Amino acid sequence: MNSDRSSYGRHLDDDAIQGLLDAAEGRADAETRSARRHLADCPACQGRVDAWREVFGELGRLRRFSPPGRFAERVLSEIDLPGEASSSSRAWSWVRLRRWLTGRAADAHLSGRRLQALADGALPRKRAILAKAHVATCGDCETRLAGWRRLIATLEALPSFAPAAGFAERVMARWREVAEEATGRGQAAQRWRLLPRSPRGWVLAGTLTSMPVAAFAAVAAFLSTVPQLTTGGLVTYLWWQARDALSAFGSSLLAAVMQSGAAFRAYSLAEYLIASPTTAVAAAAGFTTLMLSSIWVLHRNIGFPRFALRHVYN
């Protein structure tokens, strides 16, 4: 250490000289300014500063060494980039394992599939970064990538074709026809839905319908063999029977109504409504609303064709 004093004051030590040289280009503080003042008058320190300057110069002229090829690629493959899914990390572990197993070098050329995906913007972020890092240092892959990019650009520049004029009108017209046909088919299907749909069904339906016809025919055949019976007599007999049955049904219905008190309640209700016109009007309105609602529900669910177009403009 140079700690001796001279007529120019205390000599500069090595730290002070190095600090002085480091600060040569920068902003000088009070200590540096003091050191410079001393240096201007001290030949001994000037000589030491020159020696140090030479060392600094040698250090500054040292060569920069480039990292080995695919250095960035290898570094990136070892780090987890933010935003990557865990599945992607697993995938990369698998990629590294496969490389280790197959002995494939990390800086091998990119496959055509990967280059296509890169050109198409379909590679996941991490793989895209790695692929781009490789392409940046590999002329062969760069050329191949440019080829894929040209192909994709050519495809994407292809024009679209328009159908002939009036296509939309034709589609709409045809759609209406199809809707009407479907509606017609639906109504026809509704109409004939009770008919059998197979030969077996037709046989069964035929048997069922022919049974009462056969029974009637058998009775008629038997009656025709009795000589006392005439057609007029038979008709008169059946008419009497029908009239008696109807009369008995009417009598029993009337008796049931009278016994249940429904007629009395209906009469009381009518009397009450006639006595209060407001109630009568409200009842009439309610009844009308109920009827209209019922008709609307029936119209929507039964009468409205399923495929019919409803022309609602705007």
Partner 1 sequence: MSLNYQSVEDAELVTLAAEGRESAYRELLSRYERPVFSLIYRMVRNRTLAEDLAQEAFIRTFNAIDTYNPQYKFSSWIFKIANNLTIDHLRKRRVPTVSMHGAPDAVTAEAQARTSLVVRSPGESPEEYVQNRELAGQIEAAIGELRDEYRVVVLLRHIEGHTYDEIARIMDIPLGTVKTYLHRARAELKLRLAEA
Work out how close the CB of 292 gets to partner 1 at its nearest, in angstroms, rounded to a whole number.
22
Residue whose CB is less far from partner 1, 50 or 181: 181
Q: Does 313 bind partner 1 (CB under 8 A)?
A: yes
Binding mask 99-138 for partner 1 (x = CB under 8 A): -------------xx--xx--x-x----------------
Of the two residues 111 and 279, which places its CB atom closer to partner 1 in the complex? 111
What are the contacts of 117-121 at 24+ separation with CB within 8 A?
A: 118/145, 118/148, 119/145, 119/148, 119/149, 119/152, 120/148, 120/152
Contacts of 215 (CB under 8 A, 6+ apart): none
Binds partner 1 by CB under 8 A, chosen from 148, 149, 180, 283: 148
Nearer to partner 1, 8 or 148 (CB): 148
x/- binding map, residues 153-172, to partner 1, per CB under 8 A?
-xxx-xxxxxxx--xx-xxx
Neighbours of 210 (CB within 10 A): 11
How far apart CA 12 and CA 32 sit, in angstroms, is 11
Q: Please, which residue, 122 or 218, has the CB nearer to partner 1?
A: 122
> Which structure tokens are listed for 102?
């197959």
Q: Give the span between the Cα atoms of 18 and 13, in whole angstroms.
A: 9
Number of residues lying near partner 1 (CB under 8 A): 37
Closest CB to partner 1 among residues 192, 313: 313
Place of tokens 């479907």: 182
Q: Please select the residue that binds partner 1; options are 40, 151, 238, 292, rule is CB under 8 A.
A: 151
Name which of 167 and 267 has its Cβ closer to partner 1: 167
* Under 8 Å between Cβ of 70 and 137: yes
**Could you say which residues in the range 170-189 bind partner 1, by CB under 8 A?**
170-172, 174-175, 178-179, 182
Distance CA 104, CA 70 (A): 14
Backbone angles phi, psi at 117, to 5 degrees: -65, -35
In angstroms, rounded to a whole number, what is the distance separating the alpha carbons of residues 205 and 196? 7
33 binds partner 1 (CB under 8 A): no
Return residues touching partner 1 (CB under 8 A): 112-113, 116-117, 120, 122, 147-148, 151-152, 154-156, 158-164, 167-168, 170-172, 174-175, 178-179, 182, 307, 309-314
